[in-house]
């Protein structure tokens, strides 16, 4: 069993294996598409999608545009900034954006990251991928437990995005 990124619930190896197989298939589909623009979507564009954007920017080739947005953008959570700072990625220059603020070439891949809530829908033609990661904001009963939930989601995103951009499977 391993800890669930939500911050404490255990998952069985069987469920974890199915989840890993699904996202590895997604990685193969994204690679096959050869996108020049990848968009990460959530509702608030404050935690998961911001961390995904920061990690992807640090790993993607320079000619791949990386963006994130939300259907109801708020602000980048300080815990997301801290979780990425801990691994050497600075997202202090990122801001929460609405879906209508995505400019330039349309994304060839849209990855939604919602789990508990209804995800925004990108209506333009694109490869749609869904990685249902739990919202770390408000997870746990203490600020420390919430920060652990941010780290768990960060680590899951890092594993998936390394597999996508570096071709490395997680250990």
Convert the pLDDT of each residue in 80-114 to its tens digit: 999 999 999 999 999 999 999 988 888 999 999 98
Residue 28 lies in a domain: yes
Residue 158 sits in which domain range? 2-165
* Residue 168 pLDDT grade (very low, low, confident, very high; cuts 50, 70, 90): low
Q: Which residue of the set 6, 39, 42, 96 is catalytic?
A: 42
Residue 170 lies in a domain: no
Integer CA distances (angstroms), 61 to 55, 66, 143, 153, 165, in order: 12, 10, 35, 23, 8
Q: Which residue of the set 83, 114, 129, 152 is catalytic?
A: 114
CATH of the domain at 126: 3.40.50.2300
The pLDDT score that the predictor gives to residue 88 is 97
Task: Please confirm, yes or no, whether 11 is among the known catalytic residues.
Answer: no
Task: Please confirm, yes or no, whether 170 is among the known catalytic residues.
Answer: no
pLDDT digits 0-9 by tens, 31-75: 999 999 999 999 999 999 999 999 999 999 999 999 999 999 999
Residue 171 lies in a domain: no
Task: Please confirm, yes or no, whether 171 is among the known catalytic residues.
Answer: no
Residue 157 lies in a domain: yes
> How many distinct structural domains can be found in the chain?
1
């Amino acid at each position: 069993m391993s800890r669930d990124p939500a911050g404490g619930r255990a998952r069985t190896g069987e469920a974890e294996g199915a989840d890993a197989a699904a996202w590895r298939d997604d990685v193969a589909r994204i690679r096959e598409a050869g996108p020049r623009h990848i968009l990460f979507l959530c509702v608030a564009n404050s935690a998961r999608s911001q961390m995904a954007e920061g990690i992807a920017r640090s790993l993607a080739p320079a000619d791949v545009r990386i963006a994130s947005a939300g259907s109801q953008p708020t602000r980048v959570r300080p815990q997301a900034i801290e979780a990425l700072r801990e691994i050497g990625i600075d997202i202090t220059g990122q801001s929460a954006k609405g879906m209508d603020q995505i400019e330039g070439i349309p994304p060839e891949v849209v990855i939604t990251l919602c789990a508990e809530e209804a995800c925004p829908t990108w209506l333009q033609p694109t490869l749609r991928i869904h990685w249902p990661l739990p919202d770390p904001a408000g997870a746990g009963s203490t600020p420390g437990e919430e920060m652990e939930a941010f780290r768990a989601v960060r680590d899951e995103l890092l594993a998936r995005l390394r597999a996508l951009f570096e071709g490395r499977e997680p250990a």
